Structure 1
Amino acid sequence: MPARTDWVVLKFGGTSVASVDRWQTIADAIERHTTAGTRVLVVCSALSGISNLLQKLIDAIDGQTDTEATLAEIRGKHERLAEAMGLDADEQIGEELAELERVVEGARLIGAVPDEVRARLMAMGELMSTRLGAGWLRKRGTSVAWRDARSLLQAEPASTNASSSHHYLSATCHYAPDDRLITELSELTENAVLTQGFIAADSHGNTVLLGRGGSDTSAAYLAGKLNAERLEIWTDVPGLFTANPRDRADARLLRAVTFDEAQVLAAMGARVLHPRCIPPVRDNDIPLHMRCTQAPDMEGTVVSRDAAATEPGVKAVVSRPHLYLIRIECPGHWHLAGTLADVTGVFAQHGIAIDLIANSASSISLTIDPAASPLTQQDVTHLVANLESIGTANVSYEVGSVSLVGSNIASVINRLSPALKPLEAQRIHMVSDAGPDDALSFVLEPEDVDYLMNPLHDWLLAQPQPEAIFGPAWRELSDKLN
Structure 2
Amino acid sequence: MSSSPLVDRWIVLKFGGTSVSRRHRWNTIGELAKKRADETGGRVLVVVSALSGVTNELTAIADGAADSRERVAALVARHNAFLAELELGQEVLAARLAALQALLDDPRAAHRPLDWQAEVLGQGELLSSTIGAAYLRGNGLDFGWMDARDWLHAQPPAPNQSAWSQRLSVNCQWQGDAGFRQRFAAQPTRMLITQGFISRHGDGGTAILGRGGSDTSAAYFGALLGASRVEIWTDVPGMFSANPKDVPDARLLTRLDYYEAQEIATTGAKVLHPRSIKPCRDAGVPMAILDTERPHMPGTSIDGSAEPVPGVKAISRRNGIVLVSMEGIGMWQQVGFLADVFDLFRRHGLSVDLIGSAETNVTVSLDPSENLVSTDVLAALSADLSRICKVKVIVPCAAITLVGRGMRSLLYKLSDVWATFGKERVHMISQSSNDLNLTFVIDEADADGLLPILHDELIDSGAMPVYEEQVFGPRWREITGSVRPRPTPWWRAPRARGQLLELAAQGTPRYVYHLPTVRARARQLQAVTALDRRYYAIKANPHPAILRALAAEGFGLECVSLGEVEHVFQVLPELAPARVLFTPSFAPIGEYAAALARGVNVTVDNVELLRRWPEVFGDRTLWLRIDLGHGDGHHRKVNTGGKEAKFGLSAQRVDEFMDVARGLGVRVTGIHAHLGSGVESSGHWQQVVDELAGFARRIGSVEILDIGGGLPVPYSDDDEPFDLDAWAAGLAAVKAVHPAFQLAVEPGRFLVAEAGVLLAHATQVVEKDGVRRVGLDAGMNALLRPALYDAWHDIANLSRLEDARDLDFSVVGPICESSDVFAQRVKLPSTTAPGDVMLIADAGAYGFSMASRYNQRALPCEDIIDDAS
TM-score with structure 1 length normalisation?
0.94
Q: Is the 8 A contact 1:420 1:456 kept in 2?
A: no
1:298-317 to 2 correspondences below 5 Å: 298-307=297-306, 309-317=307-315
Q: Deviations over 1:199-232 (max 9, x none)?
A: 0011221101001111011111111111111100
Displacement of 1:260: 1.1
Distance 2:212 2:449 in 1: 29
- Give the CA deviation at 1:474: 0.3
1:24 to 2, 15, 27: 27
The structure whose Rg is larger is 2
Residue from 13, 16, 24 that aligns with 2:16: 13
Q: Deviations over 1:223-258 (max 9, x none)?
A: 111111110000000111111111122110001111
Residue type of the alignment partner of 1:474: W
Q: Structure 1 residue 455 and structure 2 residue 464: aligned? A: no
Q: What SS class does the counterpart of residue 321 from structure 2 fall into? A: strand
Deviations 1:79-133 (A, max 9, x none): 11111111112x21111111111111225x8633111100000100000000000
Deviations 1:450-478 (A, max 9, x none): 46433321121256521111000001112
Give the superposition deviation at 1:159. 2.7
Partner AA of 1:106 in structure 2: D
Tell me, yes or no, if the aligned pair for 2:103 and 2:109 is still in contact at 8 Å: no
CA contact (8 A) 1:20 1:84 kept: yes
Equivalence map 1:109-258=2 (5 Å):
111-258=110-257
Which residue identity lines up with residue 35 of structure 1 in the other structure?
Answer: D
Alpha-carbon shift at residue 449 of structure 1 (Å) = 1.6
Q: Give the deviation of 1:137 after TM superposition.
A: 0.7
Distance (whole Å) between structure 1 residues aligned to residue 191 and residue 109 of structure 2: 42
Q: Structure 1 residue 413: deviation in Å?
A: 1.2
Q: Deviations 1:4-41 (Å, cap 9, x if unpaired)? A: 76111111000010011111111011101111202111
Q: CA deviation at 1:386?
A: 2.6
Q: How many angstroms apart in 2 are the aligned matches of 1:434 and 1:126?
A: 36
Using a 3 Å threshold, how does the CA distance of structure 1 residues 408 and 101 change in structure 2: closer, same or farther? same
From 44, 54, 60, the counterpart of 1:56: 60
1:339 to 334, 337, 340: 337
Q: Which amino acid aligns with 1:68?
A: R
Give the 3 Å change call, closer, same or farther, for CA 395–6 of structure 1 in structure 2. Answer: same
Q: Residue 109 of structure 2 contacts residue 116 of structure 2 at CA under 8 Å; is this kept in 1?
A: no
Retained in 1: the 8 A contact 2:232–2:288?
yes
Does the Cα contact within 8 Å between 1:175 and 1:280 map onto a contact in 2?
A: yes
Alpha-carbon deviation of 1:350? 2.1
Question: For residue 85 of structure 2, what is the aligned residue in structure 1?
Answer: 84
Contact 1:255 1:301 (C-alpha < 8 Å) held by counterparts: yes
Q: Which amino acid aligns with 1:78?
A: H
Q: CA deviation at 1:423?
A: 3.5
Unmatched tracts of structure 1, length 5 or more: none
**Higher RCO, 1 or 2 (CA under 8 Å, sep at least 6)?**
1
Could you say which residue in structure 1 is the equivalent of 2:74? 73
SS in 2 for 1:120: helix
Name the CA distance, whole Å, in 2 between partners of 1:182 and 1:142. Answer: 23
Picking from 383, 386, 397, the partner of 1:385 is 383
Moved over 4 A (4+): none
Identical amino acids, percent of aligned pairs: 38
Aligned equivalents of 2:258, 2:382: Cα separation in 1: 35
Secondary structure (helix, strand or coil) at the match of 1:104 reads helix
SS of structure 2 residue aligned to 1:246: coil
Structure 1 CA distance for aligned equivalents of residues 323 and 474 of structure 2: 36
Give the alignment of 1:388-403 within 5 angstroms. Answer: 388-403=386-401
Structure 2: how far apart are the matches of 1:223 and 1:47?
23
Q: Please, what is the CA RMSD of the aligned residues? A: 1.8
Q: Kindly tell me: are residues 417 and 182 of structure 1, through their superposed partners in 2, closer, same or farther at Cα, counting changes over 3 Å? A: same
Q: Where do residues 429-468 of structure 1 align in structure 2 (5 Å cutoff)?
A: 429-435=427-433, 437-450=435-448, 452-462=450-460, 464-468=466-470
Equivalent in 417, 420, 434 of residue 419 of structure 1: 417
- CA–CA distance in structure 2, aligned partners of residues 357 and 465 of structure 1: 34
Query: Whole-Å Cα distance in 2 between the matches of residues 470 and 284 of structure 1?
Result: 26
Structure 1 distance, partners of 2:256, 2:339, is: 33
Native 8 Å contact 1:198 1:214 kept in 2:
yes
Aligned to 1:479: 481
Distance in 2 separating the partners of 1:408 and 1:116: 44
Distance in 1 between the 2:88 and 2:219 partners? 31
For this pair of structures, how many residues does the alignment match?
Answer: 474
Cα distance in 1, alignment partners of residues 271 and 67 from structure 2: 34
CA–CA distance in 2 between the matches of 1:234 and 1:410?
34
Contact 2:257 2:308 in 1 (8 A): no
Paired residues for 1:300-379 under 5 Å: 300-307=299-306, 309-379=307-377
Q: Is the 8 A contact 1:416 1:456 kept in 2?
A: no
Measure the CA separation in 1 of the matches of 2:431 and 2:74.
Answer: 46
Residue deviations 1:256-310 (CA, integer Å, cap 9, x gap): 1111111111111111111010110111111110100111111101111112x22
Match of 1:100 in 2: 100
1:39 aligned residue = 43
* Contact 1:324–1:397 (CA under 8 A) maintained in structure 2: yes
Q: SS where residue 326 of structure 1 aligns? A: strand
Q: Distance in 2 between matches of 1:306 and 1:343?
A: 41
| Separation of aligned partners in 2, 1:461 and 1:435 | 24
Kindly indicate whether the alpha-carbon contact (under 8 Å) linking 1:423 and 1:452 is maintained by their aligned counterparts in 2. no
Q: CA deviation at 1:447?
A: 1.9
Secondary structure at 1:437 match in 2? coil
Structure 2's unaligned 5+ residue stretches are 483-869
